A = this chain, B = another copy of it.
Amino acid sequence: MKHVHYTDIEEKEVHMEGVKDTTIRWLISKDDNSPNFAMRMFTMGPGGHTPYHKHDWEHEVFVVEGEGKFVTEKGEEPLKAGDVLLVPPNDMHQFKNGPTGTMKFLCLVPNDSY
């Protein structure tokens, strides 16, 4: 059993090509003996973004706070608190914060992806 507030979990800068002003908190992972999947929280500062990329595992996303854009091969879509996303394996995707404020979103991935 694990029960914490997300702010109690260490916030680490994401160092990866194509990333700007983004941190990650591993809320639940194999380190907690999660049987199947991991829950992470990403926080993006003003103008922050994740890479425009793809990989062979899915994302299940819930936007907790803020507003920005979600980018796919079809272009940009508005993204806001309460939005839900399933990004299938091998689909190009990017999360972009707006020019002001903070965006926070949960992004869950299967254990075999990390």
Contact = CB atoms under 8 A, between A and B. Distances in A.
Contacts of A83: 3-6
Chain A at the B interface: mostly helix, strand, loop or mixed? Answer: strand
B6 A82 contact: yes
B5 A84 contact: yes
Interface residues of A, number: 38
Q: How many copies of this protein are present in the complex?
A: 2
Contact of A58 (B34, B87, B108): B34
A84 B36 contact: no
Residue among A1, A7, A32, A58 facing the most chain B CB atoms (10 A cut-off): A1
A109 to B, nearest CB: 9
A13 B64 CA distance: 24
